[in-house]
């Protein structure tokens, strides 16, 4: 009998009917699968149950809170978080099962992001390491990071070699909509940290973001996609600063 520690795959969902079936198929290697749903209004829950997942529903406050709430229901030593629009290739699944017996408390996973049909290899989008695999009793999500969540890990983390596949944006409109949502959340975190924009921030922050994405992180090597992404991320930085100002003025 194998002495390999067991792992639960956890997927947060809200109206993920389009993705959930393929996502759960890619988690077939896990010892248990938990879909932690924010009261979807489509058939996400029904599909998840048909594919053998345990489904729990919990009101959504923010991403960090939701992930921590899900952790409270994990019964295995290890947890692996997967988004509904992500897939676990067979090579990654095999590598995960191998490292569960190692001494590390967690593992960073590289991620391939497909944006508007193209794998983006530069501009900060690859390898895009995510800390998704960790010991349940050694990790929690930072409650201060309500978006782009950060795991507070007690112990060392290693890096896996095989990547997740992430089908995150099908259109530029979807990309812009999601980035503006992130901008609003990020602005609130900045205000809480005491950030106060200066007059030059509105110009310099987007410029720095474009330079970082397009030049430092070689976005130009992704051709037209790299240019558009770098410009849109610069615009997101500008909108974040505007949102900080709006929150401060609203008092």
pLDDT of residue 2: 56
CA distances from 93 to 46, 187, 228 (A): 25, 36, 33
How far is Cα 187 from Cα 197, in angstroms, rounded to an integer? 11
Answer whether 79's CB lies under 8 Å from 161's CB. no
Average pLDDT over every residue of 54-77: 97
Domain ranges of the chain: 7-168, 171-250
> What is this structure's pTM?
0.91
CA distances from 97 to 50, 89, 107, 135 (A): 25, 13, 12, 13
Confidence band, pLDDT 50/70/90 cuts, at residue 107: very high
Write the pLDDT tens digit of every residue in 183-240. Answer: 999 999 999 999 999 999 999 999 999 999 999 999 999 999 999 999 999 999 999 9
Write the pLDDT tens digit of every residue in 139-188. Answer: 999 998 888 899 999 999 999 999 999 998 999 999 999 999 999 999 99
First to last CA, the chain: 62
**C-beta neighbour count of 246 within 10 angstroms:** 12
Peptide bond into 148 cis (omega under 30): no
- For the domain 7-168, what is the CATH superfamily, name and number? Spore Coat Polysaccharide Biosynthesis Protein SpsA; Chain A (3.90.550.10)
Write the pLDDT tens digit of every residue in 8-35. Answer: 999 999 999 999 999 999 999 999 999 9
Q: Is the pLDDT reported for residue 1 higher than 50?
A: no
105-133 as b/e, with b when 16 or more CB fall inside 10 Å? bbbbbbbbbbbbeeebbbbbbbeebbbbb
Confidence band, pLDDT 50/70/90 cuts, at residue 4: confident
């Amino acid at each position: 009998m194998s002495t390999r520690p067991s792992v639960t795959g956890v997927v947060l969902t809200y109206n993920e009917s389009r993705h959930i079936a393929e996502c759960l198929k890619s988690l077939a290697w896990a010892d248990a699968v938990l879909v932690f749903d924010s009261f979807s209004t489509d058939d996400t829950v029904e599909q998840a149950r048909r594919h053998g997942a345990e489904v729990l529903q919990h009101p959504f406050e923010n991403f960090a809170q939701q992930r921590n709430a899900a952790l409270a229901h994990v019964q295995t030593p290890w947890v692996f978080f997967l988004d509904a629009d992500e897939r676990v290739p067979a090579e990654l699944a095999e590598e995960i099962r191998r490292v569960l017996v190692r001494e590390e408390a967690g593992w960073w996973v590289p991620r391939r992001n497909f944006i508007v049909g193209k794998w983006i290899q530069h501009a900060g989008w690859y390898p895009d390491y995510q800390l998704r695999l960790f010991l349940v009793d050694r990790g929690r999500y930072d409650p201060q990071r309500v978006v782009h969540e950060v795991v507070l890990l007690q112990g060392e983390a290693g890096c896996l070699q095989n990547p997740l596949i992430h089908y995150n944006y099908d259109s530029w409109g979807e990309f812009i909509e999601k980035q503006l949502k992130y901008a609003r959340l990020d602005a609130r975190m900045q205000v809480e940290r005491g950030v106060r924009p200066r007059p030059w921030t509105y110009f310099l922050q987007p410029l720095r973001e474009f330079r970082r994405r397009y030049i430092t992180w070689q976005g130009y090597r992704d051709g037209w996609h790299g240019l558009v992404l770098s410009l849109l991320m610069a615009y997101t930085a500008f909108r974040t600063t505007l949102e900080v100002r709006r929150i401060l003025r609203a008092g």
